[in-house]
Copies of this chain bind each other. A is one copy, B any other.
Amino acid sequence: MSTAARGGAPAQERELRAQGRKTMRRLLDAAMVVFEKRGFHAARVDDIVKVAKTSHGTFYLYFANKEDLFHALAADAGAATLALTSELGPIGPDEAGYRELRTWLGRFGELYLHYGPVIRVWTEAEFEGGVAGRMGTDLLTEVTRAIASRIANSPTATAVDPQIAATAFLAMIERFNYYVLSRQIDFAPDDVLDTIATLAHQGLFGGNHTARVPRRA
């Protein structure tokens, strides 16, 4: 998807050769793994360097500190999220709209699968105020605004406040994906997409299309 190629502050002051880039990559990947498992706060630099099979000293060769590393990841995740947002075309109340929505939700799921740990940290209370916190808030604003504009162009526009509805929509899909990922609620992915797409379509875009979802046993 992307690469966080810039790295943290210290890395940007030097030119990285092949080996250096590889090491940085290993650290970033390791951080994802550790953030996933422990969250940002509980993640220790020690955990990260162990997973990356490198040393403390090396970590600070590439990142000013733990937060700096997080920013590198977050910049990536933010860009990917914005890119995805812009891909959401107009959603009509008909079957085509439903299809469009369902496809987009699938892509969102993939994005969350990849960037979940980072997205989650944005919303950790402790981050308010910090750079990451503002980053998350800004992103939230941008993303909901884009979605709101889609909703505003739909038949239900008179019934609901688009900005609120967009926020609710984002809340739902962000959190649902989190539940699925972290709790291993094992719904069949297709059922999930059918259901979420249906209810969002009906709730937000005046959808009258009805998916034939087989009831769960």
Residues of A within 8 A of B (CB): 35-39, 41-42, 117, 120, 123-126, 128, 137, 140, 156, 158-161, 163-165, 167-169, 171-176, 178-179, 182-183, 185, 187, 191-192, 194-196, 198-200, 202-204, 210-213, 215-216
Contact = CB atoms under 8 A, between A and B. Distances in A.
* Main DSSP-derived SS at the A contact region: helix
A187 B161 contact: yes
Contacts of A128: 182-183
A156 to B, nearest CB: 8
Contacts of A194: 160-161
Contacts of A200: 203
A107 to B, nearest CB: 17
A197 B91 CA distance: 21
Contacts of A196: 164, 168
27 contacts: A36-B125, A38-B126, A39-B124, A39-B126, A41-B126, A42-B126, A123-B182, A124-B124, A128-B182, A137-B183, A140-B179, A159-B198, A159-B212, A160-B194, A160-B211, A161-B187, A161-B191, A161-B195, A164-B196, A165-B199, A167-B176, A167-B179, A168-B199, A169-B172, A171-B172, A171-B178, A202-B203
Given A42-B126, A159-B212, A200-B203, 15 more contacts: A36-B125, A158-B215, A159-B211, A159-B213, A160-B211, A161-B191, A163-B187, A164-B187, A164-B196, A165-B199, A167-B185, A168-B172, A169-B172, A171-B176, A199-B203
Copies of this protein, total: 4
A195 B165 contact: yes
Contacts of A211: 159-160
A3 B189 CA distance: 40
A44 to B, nearest CB: 12
Contact of A198 (B37, B160, B199): B160
